[in-house]
Amino acid sequence: MRNDQIPAGQSHHPDTRTLTILAFSATAGVLVEFYDFFIYGYAAASAFPSVFFPHLPSTRALVFSYLAFGAGFPARLVGAFIFGHFGDRAGRKFSFLLNIALVGVTTCLTGLLPGYARLGIAAPVLLVVLRVVQGIGLGGEFGGASSLLAEFAAERRSRAFWISLANLGIPLGAMAASGMMLVMNKTFASTGWRIAMLLSAVIVIPALVARYKLADSPLFERIKQQEQLASLPSFEVLKEDLGSVILIALVIAFMHMDGYVTGTYFISFMRFAGIPMATIAMVLMLSRVGDILGVVLSGPLADLCKRRTTTYLAVGVTTLLSVPFVLAILSQRILLLIILQILISFFGIGLLHGLAPILASESFPTKFRYSGAGISYGLSGILGGMIAPSLLAGLIGQDVFHRWYFVPVLYGLYCAVAMVALLFIRETRDIRLAELDRAEAEWHRLGFVAAREDSATL
């Protein structure tokens, strides 16, 4: 039975098959979108400096390439506002379909974009424009995937496990991108990155079909029938739940920092340390095993150890591993490097990839869930993914053997901020999602009564 054919009497208790189809649909779409995203990041680290910024000094060209890559992060925040509005007003399905189409089209156009030698200054300008549009499309992904999985699994004891699968497509997409770079390591910096981007079209269409079969969640349909939808959810969530948005963003920013530092910036860092491109691609691809394992285990760990405790563990261990990880790169101890990369990917990326949708979706009521989760995630991308790679590229340059200490310093700063933010985030393991909606409705009812009494007094 298809997801959009669930009988009304059963809609509030979706079976395992329904949840599995939903998880597959979400994972397939996220895989496509983050395959595109990581291919762009790998190209920014290896190809873009010579293709789009050929007349700049090497360090400055690399910084500009990372800035072009980083332009997608504020765009993701814009996308979270746009798609969050439609996701919380028109329904999750509509936004979920549109964002993947936008990402697929812009990625293919980027793969076809001529370089500076042909278009001059228009080439890097168009590169940034396409990156911004791609980021807008990607901005609608997290809120949609986490909201649908959270709301369909709302009554499940293993709710955290199902929600964590919202981000399973990220390591799978990253692994596919790393594998593509490994296969084409000799040509990736010249023409291989273009082929890799164009190949994403092969899996965009099946992902679109899978999402078309989705239905809106029972919780969303309930508040829609009760006429409890917010008129401007992307703005109202900032008015009513700004604290939750900021706190969630500060925690998830650590994951983005770790993911984009180890997954994009360290491509150039390892090259400056004398490690061949083929070895770098192999290290990145193997590390995704830790990422995938972390996502799969994050849900059970969140249920067993609580959401906040698991997050503290992930952030703290990753920060401690940053020092031996950098030293292993500088000494070119490849086996140790692979082991440490897998561990960092497990704790700092994988576990947090799974915890991010859990923390975000369980912090907002249904009428704000798509917007709140998406905006939090988009803001965290700016704080972590946009700033960190460009900052390290500027601070370290090519002098990795003398300026390597900036890496653990950066990890320490992000760790401190995330741990302080976690102190103020409520533990949601034993909270039912329906209770969030009832609490929200009761709060508004009491507010209305108080306002009416004040009016009567006047």
pLDDT band at 58 (very low <50, low <70, confident <90, very high): confident
Domain count, the chain: 1
Interaxial angle between packed helices 72-89 and 233-240, expressed in degrees from 0 to 180 and rounded to the nearest 10: 100
What pLDDT is attached to residue 441? 57
446-452: long-range contacts (C-beta < 8 A, 24 or more apart)? none
What pLDDT is attached to residue 452? 40
Q: CA angle, corner 172, sides to 166 and 174, nearest 5?
A: 110
Residues 18-46, mean pLDDT to the nearest whole number = 78
457 assigned to some structural domain: no
Q: Are 189 and 46 in contact (CB under 8 A)?
A: yes
d(CA 407, CA 423): 25
What pLDDT is attached to residue 72? 80
The whole-chain average pLDDT of the chain stands at: 84
pLDDT band at 207 (very low <50, low <70, confident <90, very high): confident
23 assigned to some structural domain: yes
pLDDT tens, position by position, 163-175: 998 888 888 888 8
455 assigned to some structural domain: no
Burial of 398 (0-12, 13-18, 19+ CB in 10 A): middle
d(CA 166, CA 389): 25
Residue 170 belongs to a domain with what CATH number?
A: 1.20.1250.20
Structure-model confidence comparison of residues 279 and 45, the more confident one: 279
225 assigned to some structural domain: no
Comparing 72-76, 142-146, 441-445, which segment has the lowest mean pLDDT? 441-445
- Encoded tokens for 17: 């098959």
8 assigned to some structural domain: no
pLDDT band at 458 (very low <50, low <70, confident <90, very high): very low
Question: Helix count (H) and strand count (E) of the chain?
Answer: 25, 0
5 assigned to some structural domain: no
What pLDDT is attached to residue 7? 35
pLDDT tens, position by position, 85-126: 998 988 887 887 888 888 888 888 988 999 898 999 999 899
Q: Are 143 and 92 in contact (CB under 8 A)?
A: no
454 assigned to some structural domain: no
Running DSSP on this structure, what letter comes out for residue 191? I
pLDDT band at 292 (very low <50, low <70, confident <90, very high): very high
The answer to whether residue 442 scores a pLDDT higher than 70 is: no
- For the four alpha carbons of 128, 141, 31 and 302, in that order, the dihedral sign comes to positive
What pLDDT is attached to residue 122? 93
446 assigned to some structural domain: no
Structure-model confidence comparison of residues 388 and 42, the more confident one: 388
- Tokens 């440490």 belong to 340
Structure-model confidence comparison of residues 243 and 12, the more confident one: 243
Amino acid letter, residue 274: G
- Of the ranges 148-162, 216-230, 328-342, which is most confident? 328-342
Q: Are 404 and 273 in contact (CB under 8 A)?
A: no
The answer to whether residue 140 scores a pLDDT higher than 50 is: yes
Comparing 7-21, 325-339, 416-430, which segment has the lowest mean pLDDT? 7-21
Comparing 131-135, 337-341, 401-405, 451-455, which segment has the lowest mean pLDDT? 451-455
Q: Where are the alpha helices (DSSP H) in 47-121?
A: 48-52, 58-70, 72-89, 92-112, 116-119
pTM of the model: 0.82
What pLDDT is attached to residue 204? 78
Q: How many CA atoms are closer than 13 Å to the CA of 19, on its beta-carbon side?
A: 24
The answer to whether residue 448 scores a pLDDT higher than 50 is: no
Q: Nearest-CA neighbor of 149 among 220, 84, 205, 202?
A: 220
Comparing 144-153, 179-188, 220-229, 446-455, which segment has the lowest mean pLDDT? 446-455
What pLDDT is attached to residue 310? 95
Residues 41-67, mean pLDDT to the nearest whole number = 84
pLDDT band at 456 (very low <50, low <70, confident <90, very high): very low
d(CA 222, CA 214): 17
Q: Nearest-CA neighbor of 311 among 388, 412, 419, 413?
A: 419
pLDDT band at 9 (very low <50, low <70, confident <90, very high): very low
Per the structure, the complete domain to which residue 79 belongs is given by 14-214+233-437
pLDDT tens, position by position, 417-433: 999 999 999 888 887 77
